Amino acid sequence: MKIVVSTKDGRKISRSFSGCNVFKIFETENGKIVKKSSRLNTFNSRLKQKIKELSDSENRQPNETLPVKNVIDGVKDCHVIICHKMNRRNWIKMGGSGVEMFFTSISDAENAVIKYLSGELKDEYHQIMNV
């Protein structure tokens, strides 16, 4: 199973799902983390601009064909999303995709995944999203 956590730095959960810099992917088997990887959130307009500037400064072709066109495409192969907040548009899209979503106030990404795997992660959607 793949669990994705929205992060700014690969360690701490970011405040915004779609505004994060990096998606930290935790692959799990039998309730244990077996592999960790990171994906740039190329939907994030600030990050997309930085990537373009780096490409331009290194005389590379502008990176207009980044692999992720929107934030949902960037994580659609994952089974669980753990984040702090998500805008309603993405929440609706992700809810219809069959991906399980957890909203948490925990700040450490790996700790949140460990709590999810042990059944201790509580979904704080109503507290966080003020519904």
Contact in structure between 48 and 74 (CB atoms under 8 Å): no
In the chain the domains, ranked by start, together with CATH numbers, are 2-128 (3.30.420.130)
DSSP alpha helices (H): ranges in the chain? 45-57, 88-95, 109-117, 125-128
The percentage of the chain sitting over the pLDDT mark of 70, rounded to a whole number, equals: 73
Entry pTM = 0.77
Chain centroid offset of residue 84 CA = 10
* Maximum Cα interatomic distance, the chain, rounded to a whole number of Å: 49
Nearest alpha-carbon partner for 87 in 77, 68, 101, 76 = 101
Using only the alpha carbons of the chain, give its radius of gyration: 15
Contact in structure between 84 and 102 (CB atoms under 8 Å): no
On the CB side of 118, how many CA atoms lie within 13 Å of its CA? 8
- Provide the pLDDT for residue 68: 47
Report helix, strand or coil for 90: helix
Nearest alpha-carbon partner for 36 in 15, 5, 79, 8 = 5
- Provide the pLDDT for residue 55: 55
**pLDDT at residue 37 greater than cutoff 90:** yes
**pLDDT at residue 54 greater than cutoff 70:** no
In the numeric block, the tokens 């934030």 are attached to: 71
